[in-house]
Structure 1
Amino acid sequence: MQRRHGKPIHIKPAPAGLGQDVTGLWLEKAERSWIFHAAGESELLRRHVILHEYGHILLMHGGCELTLGNAFAHIGGSRRIKTLLGRSSTWTAQEIAAENAATRLAARLTQQVDPLLEAF
């Protein structure tokens, strides 16, 4: 994914105050991106949230569709943020497309056959 995106992607638990409705967030700068996921969620939801944010990256979504309260108030325009998108309960066209991409990515990943098992 990093090669396709053209820069490093760091995956981290979200800072406190992200918001109850927000389970994931993609934050992009010129030199790197971060994917934040809600801390304390199940491993399955964490993986899906990451795939959802990968969907935004693959679909080259841009702009901010999310109001985050004060979670990222300190980063503002002076920090050269290129993209800020979050996964929440509000379903926009971009969110639906990213969710579809996440589902397809998950299906593709689970269909990979272990080469050792394939030998039998």
Structure 2
Amino acid sequence: MTAVNRLTEEQIEKLAVEVRQFLIDHEMWQDVAIYFNGKCFTTYDKEAGKYYYNDPDHLIVVENKDPNDYFDYVAEEHVLSMGFEGPLYALINYPQGTGDYRKLYKFNQIFKNYGLYYELGDAWNLSCYYV
């Protein structure tokens, strides 16, 4: 891809918001962290000592976060990475067990719409790459 086709920080943040909303809509915003633009959307509020699962009213944003500090496999040209457990882990790793291939297709389509695909580094994290 050329530099012209690269996503801006605003587009990357829009992607992160869209992914989070998809997870909330499908009750999968549990034990998830989305790393992008040097920050992280997460379900855990360290200051309050609380988890906010599937709660659209509590957007926890942590600044100065690098996914390389949390897992080994991060795209060299970082766009967006995620760490996850729970329902999202099950959907990505065992779609036959969830029985909902359409949901996985819709999740994957979000990235495709931005000219991206993702690869798993471990079973519990992913990193995006340009197509």
Task: Say whether the fold is shared (TM-score over 0.5).
Answer: no
Larger RCO (alpha carbons 8 Å, 6+ apart): 1
The structure in which a higher percent of residues are strand is 2
